[in-house]
Structure formats: C-alpha cells, structure tokens
Amino acid sequence: MSRAATAALRDPLRGLSTWWTMLKICLEERLVYRGDFALGTLMRFLPIVTQVFLWTAVFSATSRSDIAGYSRNDIVAYYLLTMLTRAFSSMPGLAGGIARSVRDGSVKKFLIQPVDYVSFLLAARVAHKLVYYAVAVVPFGLVFFLCRSYFPPVPDATTIAAFLLSLVLSFLLGFFMEATLGMLGFWFMEVSSIVFGYMLVQYLLSGHMFPIDLLRTVPVGSGGVSLADVVHWLPFEYTAYFPSAVWLGKVRGPELLGSLAIEAAWVVAMAIACRIAWRRGTRRYAAFGG
C-alpha cells in the first residue's frame, strides 16, 4: 500500500486533502493545454474509421456472415467499445515520463518531498483521465449515438455492472503496468524501446487490433489449446478486449466471474510489482547517486 494511502488511513482528512490538492493541481495543469486536448480527442477516432472500412471491405468480399462469431455490426461495435476501454486503460506518456524523471534527476524531488511518487502519479493520471472524459464525452457520445444501429440491445444490469467493474480494473491495471515499466528507468538508461515493445505486445494481445476470438483458430502446441486460451491468462486482454466482450455479451456466467477474478489478480500483482520496483529503484538510485 502506498505511503499516502497509509497516511490517509491514519489521518483520513489530511490524507484526502493532500490527495485532493494534487488532483486539483493536475486538473488545472491539464486544462491549460486545451488545444492539445480537443485535437487529440478528435484524432483518436481516425484509426477506427479505417478499421471499420477495412472490415467492411473484408465482409464485402467474403461469403461468410460472421467471422469468429462477429457479424460486421459486431466488429464495428467492438472497435468502438475498445476505444472506450482504451480511454480507461491507456496511459500515454506515463512510463516514458517516469523514466525521463529518473534520467534527468527530477525524481529527486520525490525522494525529498513528503509526497509518495506512485500516489502522486496515480492522482495525476486520475486527473488526466477525468479531464479527458469531460472533454471526450461529447465526441464519444456523438459517435456512439451515430453508430447506435451497430450495437446489440443494451444488456442487463448485471452485465453493465460487470462491464463498469472491468473498466475500473482496466484503468488500474494499465496504470500499474506502465508505471512498473517506467521504473525500469532506474536500471536502464533508455526505456523507450522497452516501452515500445510493450506497446506492441499490448496492441496485438489486448484486442485493440482485432477481437481476441480471432485467435481461437490459431493453435498453440498440439493439445488443442488455442492462442486465445493462452492470452486469457495474460494481463493484456483485460485492458481492451475483455470489457468490450462483456458488453457485447461474448463472456457470460461463470466465465465472466472467472475473468474478473483474473483481472483483479493482475491488478494486485502489478501494484505490488510497481511498489517493489520503486523501492528497489530508489535504493539503487540513492546508492549510485543517479
């Protein structure tokens, strides 16, 4: 558990107010650069447009009515939903920012000031996301409204609850994975390549590129295990594929519960990894004088 969180338990009011101040500062900082924001949000929809056209072209040339259980409408809905889930789980600049702060020494600030770095980053990220949603709700709402005919009927309350839970978990999972990655900056001078490699695997195995169900036809070994089965146990698909599949009703019942458990377990594991990396990293930093 983070130091700020521990402090919050000991002295709830003061902990909260520290946290709230950090959040406010970050919000203000983000709002100054509104031009970037508006542009960024708009741009985010462009790749999906290409994907939709690509799949439309694929469906136009094939005699099948569905691909791996997805109709063309399902595919469109799927991509739109991964946009939404990625809005929760993607952490642009987080790992790189941490690594940079180590490299240029600005991380020292957090060794001196009575502020816990991981908590600070988390607060900053929550702020970043909140501001992003505040701006993005308009384009998102518009796109989802225009594309409503591609979606299946709104699912039942349990599915919606599971979907929301999976989204929150995907935010935490994305945060702790990237933060841990950034902490590698204590050991390696340039982590940009590692981050890039991570993004690559993430892009392929999170379901950002295509529904993971497409990998059911790709065998791993000869025991009847598919690549999709392997991916199921990795953290990646929980940052894009899983919440989308939940909304589309592709994961139900006990499988849904099991998947949520795996996702939660990964969140805890990565949070611990992040904490360990920070502790070891700062110790190393202090020892070698940055």
Partner 1 sequence: MNRYLSIFGTFARACLVRDMTFRANFILECVTSLGWMSMNLAFYLLVFTYTPEIGKGSGWSKAPFFAFVATGLIINAIVQAFFMPSAEELTEMVRTGGLDAVLVQPLDAQFLLSLHRVDFSSLANGLVGVGLLAWALGRMDHTPPAITWLLYPLLLLCGVAILYGLVIMLAAATILMGRNQSLYDFWFYLTNFSRYPAEIYAGPWGGPLRTVCTFVIPILLVVNVPARVIAQPLTGEAWGAVAAAVIAAIASLIASRLVFQRALARYRSASS
Partner 2 sequence: MHNTDLGGMAGASEPVIHPVIHVAGLAKEYRVYDKPEGLAASIRALVHRTSRVVEAVKGIDLEVGRGEFVALLGPNGAGKTTLLKLLSGIITPSRGTATVLGHVPWERADEFRRRFALVMGQRNQLWWDLPAAESFRLHQEIYRIEPARFEKTRDELVDLLGVRRLVLQPVRELSLGERMKLELVAALLHEPEVLFLDEPTIGLDVVAQHTIHDFLRDVQRRRRMTVILTTHYMKDVAALCERVVVITRGEVLYDGSLAEIVDRFTTHKIVTLDLDEAPDRSRIERFGFPCEFRGPQVVLRIDRGRIADVLPEILGTTGVRDVSVEDVPLEQIVAELFRTDAREAAAAEAGR
Beta-bridge partner residues of 38: none
Among 27, 52, 199, 209, which residue sits at the site for partner 2 (rule: CB under 8 A)? 27
Give the Å distances, CA to CA, from 248 to 107, 123, 162, 256, 273: 43, 31, 12, 12, 32
Q: Determine, following the binding rule CB under 8 A, whether residue 283 of this chain makes contact with partner 2.
A: no
Cβ-in-10-Å burial (0-12, 13-18, 19+) of 183 comes to buried
Nearer to partner 1, 105 or 258 (CB): 105
Q: Determine, following the binding rule CB under 8 A, whether residue 190 of this chain makes contact with partner 2.
A: no
Residues 21, 26, 32, 38, Cα dihedral to 10° = -130
Cβ-in-10-Å burial (0-12, 13-18, 19+) of 37 comes to middle
Q: Determine, following the binding rule CB under 8 A, whether residue 256 of this chain makes contact with partner 1.
A: no
Among 14, 34, 279, 283, which residue sits at the site for partner 2 (rule: CB under 8 A)? 34
- Coil, helix or strand at residue 71: coil
Q: Which of residues 78-137 bind partner 1 (CB under 8 A)?
A: 92-93
Shortest gap between Cβ of 135 and partner 2 (angstroms)? Answer: 8
Q: Rounded to whole angstroms, how far apart are CA atoms 37 and 133? A: 10
94, 182 contact by CB (below 8 A):
yes
Nearer to partner 1, 86 or 275 (CB): 86
Binding mask 156-195 for partner 1 (x = CB under 8 A): ---------------------------------xx--xx-
Q: Which of residues 110-169 bind partner 2 (CB under 8 A)?
A: 135
**Intra-chain end-to-end CA distance of the chain, in Å:** 26
- By a kind-dependent CB cut-off of 5 to 8 A, residue 187 interacts, out of partner 1, partner 2, none, with none
285 Cβ contact list (under 8 Å, min separation 6): 102, 107, 111, 186
Among 8, 22, 67, 118, which residue sits at the site for partner 1 (rule: CB under 8 A)? 67
Among 46, 112, 157, 287, which residue sits at the site for partner 1 (rule: CB under 8 A)? 46
Binding residues for partner 2 (CB under 8 A): 24, 27-28, 31-32, 34, 135
> What is the contact surface with partner 1 in residues (CB under 8 A)?
33, 35-36, 39-40, 43-44, 46-47, 49-50, 53-54, 56-62, 64, 67, 92-93, 189-190, 193-194, 196-197, 200, 203-204, 209-210, 214, 217-218
